[in-house]
Amino acid sequence: MADSNTIRLRVFSLNCWGVRYLSKHCLQRYAMIGELLSREEHDIVLLQEVWSEKDFLCLKRKLSSTHPHSHYFKSGVIGSGLATFSRHRIHDAFLYRYSLNGYPYMAQHGDWFGGKAVGMVILNIGRLTAHVYVTHLHAEYCREKDSYLPHRVVQAWELQQFIRHTSSGADLVILAGDLNLHPQDLGNRLLRTYTGLRDSYTETAKFDGCEDGITLIADNPFINPKELCPFEKGIRIDYILYKGSGRVSIQCESLSTTKGSVPDHPFPYSDHEALSAELQLQTLTQQAGGDETRGMQDCAAGKLAELVDIVTEARTEVKVGLYCAERMRYTAARTGVMGLALLLLELAIAAVPWLALGADQPFPQASFYLLGVLCFAILITTFLLYIFYTMEVKALQGAEDQMRLAVGSLQERLRGFPLAQPLNPLRRPPDGQDPCPLEPEE
Amino acid sequence: MADSNTIRLRVFSLNCWGVRYLSKHCLQRYAMIGELLSREEHDIVLLQEVWSEKDFLCLKRKLSSTHPHSHYFKSGVIGSGLATFSRHRIHDAFLYRYSLNGYPYMAQHGDWFGGKAVGMVILNIGRLTAHVYVTHLHAEYCREKDSYLPHRVVQAWELQQFIRHTSSGADLVILAGDLNLHPQDLGNRLLRTYTGLRDSYTETAKFDGCEDGITLIADNPFINPKELCPFEKGIRIDYILYKGSGRVSIQCESLSTTKGSVPDHPFPYSDHEALSAELQLQTLTQQAGGDETRGMQDCAAGKLAELVDIVTEARTEVKVGLYCAERMRYTAARTGVMGLALLLLELAIAAVPWLALGADQPFPQASFYLLGVLCFAILITTFLLYIFYTMEVKALQGAEDQMRLAVGSLQERLRGFPLAQPLNPLRRPPDGQDPCPLEPEE
């Protein structure tokens, strides 16, 4: 590392809670966020829940001198809510929409309409190529009985796949966002173990922020502490993750979070706390140590076995979701058939006096039409639900198939590890950023 | 290339036209396809329009000894229709769903229900890592007035993005499928120029098949020649594309297509012709010539300028689509408002006798209910259409934003080219598979 040079990179992440007309003090908070960003001049700013493009454009104008490059990811009905600002030129942008994201009829949760996705921008920092990802996974509304768990697991699975497959050419990888996952949640372990991404909170040399790094805190005035129960103080669900490559070694120098209030302002920036990480990039001479050696260690047999366990756990969760989705589809089909039977019965009864001329109409006309409308409503609703659940079933089956394939491949690699030599280096580590590529030992 | 060794790879692609109960002789044709595949033993088989999973499982059983590895890509309501069989182990699979794919109310075309996507499998061929892609883009039903053109252009854009971003770690890249694009169509030029993929038909040393390589031929008994008009003999819309890397050079030794009939059988395999390519892979010594030199040439200023033109053309097409989608959304909103106004008017008229007690009810009851149902139907339909068009608008805007970013980045690179030195090599060409990465000159 004698001839390496050092770059400092400051990364910012915040879930802005930017639902116009619904989120409290939305415009004032955006103004505060704009002030903060133009003052702090982070290299990369990754925002979530910027639901209105107008707010993005407003921020863009405000940050035009400090952050000349930006991208707003559009998706779904009201957008993905993902936005990025950068002091370094953005050369390419790509969006991956998760195949599952809640249910359209759960309008009170609203996640489905958000078109949740992971956005990637590629930017050049000096001579280095950085692949920067921003995402926002489905919220957890009830930890005890979390009906969205399979959806979130599939999202975490697709997120790790997207990062793993699109980051091979990167010198460094950064992922930030509201993962809606606790540090040891299945999705989080899956993501970190498979991609080799490191958590800035656990890796940082210096930390200044809320206790235990929590980012959804009970002291935040926009939060109902009851909703955090049983976590009295709060939970850590927002992250800045990173990894280097054979060409770059990364250290997290410091990490800070906001603490639920902003000096000289009556309320905080958002219902989430903002994260701000300072990373130190050290370009390595070819074949040098650092992340590369770490990559080899990561891929030791123990790590592989852990990964097999995690993917198997995820597969079980997806299977549970699949069982529920199939049951719901069956219920929709059965209700639809009952609606159809009712409609036919009604028509049959109404047809009696028409066939036997002169007999009295047994139905009052108003009831006849109302019942007809009800039957039609049932038929249409159950048809739409059947279509929706079929798509859910397909998506869950697809994820499960991929997981089965991955477990098989990992187990095959594991068999290639001699017991006495757990740190057997992988083929081509120096120019592969992924410490655990799905390639067998040779 | 003195110490290189050679591998031969046989790739097969077919659009199976496998709509159960609707496609003619579906089961018999699958039986024929199964026979062909188990006899020919291609290394990689890439199938499209395998709509029923049962048919896939039936093929899988039949090919269990010749092609022990397979993957079926699930997506949308009735699946993506994409399937792959391989003699080499599949280590990983990933699916990208296109953001646009026709309209749900165009049920007679049915594309929307198909969940069109691009599937990727990663497999190891000897010591080489192959990234193999299979896809099927939206059909073209009327070339003169093609309302789906913006959707197909966006699909081609997303396809090239997906391939470009996920193939950095690959030694070789193969894409096969029914692109529904003529050889010089915008989407095809966009795909080939941006990714550097080469067309096996134009590159092959030997060709045996239909004239001009057409794959949808007028002689096929399942095809109505009138639908091919003005292309009397047929069109070429199915492809096998490939590219090597700094480690592998690829040559297409031979390409063949079926010719509309199968000896000893009364009908052909499908309404499309099957493609069969024989590729010769030559592993290169590090820093050797071949594809790598080609990569540099490809990235010459002329190529970049061509790419800028193509992306600009694509952007124009997307803008046209955006204009149409916005107009349709406006029409849906206006119709919805009219439906609401009619409903309110009806309620007001009905309320008159209720308010002025004793006055006659001006409405016959039956008409009252029927009109009410009509108004509700208009409201629900226009609401759903509004939601759908909003998603279409967002997706088109998203693609257009990405294209704008790409054009800017390409133009910046173009400015870096001195006029006297058009073959200025790019940074890091030896280990980058993408001959045109979006990185500026340094």
- Judge whether residue B44 has pLDDT over 90: yes
pLDDT at A424: 38
How far does the CA of residue B160 sit from the closest CA of chain A (Å)? 11
Banded model confidence at residue B102, pLDDT cuts 50, 70, 90? confident
A6-15, A365-374, B237-246, B295-304: which range is least confident on average? Answer: B295-304
Contacts of B77 by beta carbon, 8 Å cutoff, 6+ apart: A387, A390, A391, A394, B113, B114, B115
Phi, psi of B372 (to 5 degrees): -60, -45
Q: Is the CB of B93 inside 8 Å of chain A's CB atoms?
A: yes
Per-residue pLDDT averaged across A176-189, rounded? Answer: 95
Q: What is the pLDDT of residues B354-378, one digit of tens each?
A: 777 665 666 677 788 788 889 989 9
Helix or strand (DSSP H, E) at A359: none
Worst-scoring range by mean pLDDT, A352-356, B123-127, B262-266, B381-385?
A352-356
Peptide bond into B429 cis (omega under 30): no
CB contact under 8 A, A438 and B91: yes
Has residue A92 got a pLDDT over 60?
A: yes
A74: nearest Cα among B254, B396, B439, B343: B396
Q: Are B41 and B35 in contact (CB under 8 A)?
A: no
CA geometry: angle B60, A166, B94, nearest 5 deg: 20
Hey, what are B168's tokens?
A: 């950095």
- Partners of B406 on chain A (C-beta within 8 Å) are 92
How far the first Cα of chain A sits from its last, in Å, is: 30
Please indicate whether residue B439 or residue B163 has the higher confidence score (pLDDT): B163
Instruction: Output B374-378 pairs: Cβ under 8 A, ≥24 positions apart.
Output: B374/B342, B375/B339, B375/B340, B375/B342, B375/B343, B375/B346, B376/A373, B376/B343, B378/B335, B378/B336, B378/B338, B378/B339, B378/B342
Please judge whether B169 and A432 are an interchain contact, meaning their C-beta atoms are less than 8 angstroms apart.
Answer: yes
Looking at the predicted structure, is the pLDDT value of residue A255 above 90?
yes
DSSP B361: P
End-to-end Cα spacing for chain B: 30
Tally of CA atoms within 13 A in the half-sphere of A75 that contains its CB = 30
Residue B353 pLDDT level (bands cut at 50, 70, 90): confident
A114 CB within 8 Å of a chain B CB: no
What are the tens digits of pLDDT across the range A367-397?
A: 887 888 899 899 999 999 999 999 999 999 9
Residue A183, classed as helix, strand or coil, is coil
Residue A271 has pLDDT above 60, yes or no: yes
- Checking if the pLDDT of A437 tops 50, the result is no
The answer, yes or no, to whether residue A73 has pLDDT greater than 50, is yes
Q: One-letter amino acid identity for B204?
A: T
Write down the mean pLDDT value for chain B. 87
In the predicted structure, residue B288 carries a pLDDT above the cut 50? no
B225/chain A closest Cα distance in angstroms: 35
Q: Give how far the C-alpha of residue B30 lies from the chain's centroid of Cα atoms, to the nearest Å.
A: 23
B398 contacts in A (CB within 8 Å)? Answer: 73-75, 95
Residues of B noted as catalytic = 272
- Window 148-167 of A, Cβ < 8 Å to B: 161-162, 165-166
According to the model, what pLDDT value does residue B327 have? Answer: 96
- Judged against a pLDDT cut of 80, whether residue A358 lies above it is answered with no
CA distance A368 to chain B (A): 10
Contacts of B405 in chain A (CB under 8 A): 71, 90-93
Q: Judge whether residue A239 has pLDDT over 50.
A: yes
Interface test mutation site (partner A, options B91, B368, B403, max chain A beta carbons within 10 A): B91
Helix (H, G, I), strand (E, B) or coil at A410: helix
List pLDDT tens digits, range B409-430: 999 888 877 654 433 333 333 3
Chain A residues with CB under 8 Å of B94 CB are 161-162, 165, 402
Is the pLDDT at A433 greater than 60? The verdict is: no
Please give the average per-residue pLDDT across A339-363, as a whole number.
78
Higher-pLDDT residue of A134, A418: A134
Give the confidence band of B76 by pLDDT, cuts at 50, 70, 90: confident
B3-6: long-range pairs with CB below 8 Å, 24+: B3/B285, B4/B249, B4/B282, B4/B283, B4/B284, B4/B285, B4/B288, B5/B282, B5/B283, B6/B280, B6/B281, B6/B282
Whether residue A421 has pLDDT greater than 60: no
pLDDT digits (tens, 9 = 90+) for A300-350: 788 889 999 999 999 999 999 999 999 999 999 999 999 999 999 988 888
Kindly determine whether residue A93 and residue B401, on different chains, have CB atoms separated by under 8 Å.
yes
Do the chains contact at A74 and B439, CB–CB below 8 Å? no
Res A242: pLDDT: 97
> How high is the pLDDT of residue A281?
96
Q: Averaged over B6-17, what is the pLDDT?
A: 96
Contact B245, B239 (CB under 8 A): no
pLDDT greater than 80 at residue A211: yes
> Is A366 at the interface with chain B, CB within 8 A?
yes
Partner A, chain B 169-228, Cβ-Cβ below 8 Å: 169
Angle ∠(B231,B234,B239) on CA atoms, nearest 5: 125
What is the pLDDT at residue A109?
A: 78
Name the residue in chain A with its Cα closest to that of B91.
Answer: A409
Please report which confidence band the pLDDT of residue A296 belongs to, taking 50, 70 and 90 as the band edges: very low
pLDDT of A3 > 90? The answer is no
DSSP state of B306: H
Average pLDDT value over all residues in chain A: 87
Nearest to A438 among B92, B95, B440 (CB): B92
- For A15-62, write each residue's pLDDT tens digit: 999 998 888 999 999 999 999 999 999 999 999 999 999 999 999 999
- Predicted confidence at residue A142, as pLDDT, reads 80
List Cβ neighbours of A369 (8 Å cut-off, separation of 6 or more).
B365, B366, B369, B370, B373
pLDDT tens digits, A100-155: 988 888 777 778 887 789 999 999 998 899 999 999 999 888 877 888 899 999 99
How high is the pLDDT of residue B208? 95
Query: In the predicted model, what is the mean pLDDT of residues A71-79?
Result: 89
DSSP A300: S
Q: Is B394 on the interface with A (CB under 8 A)?
A: yes
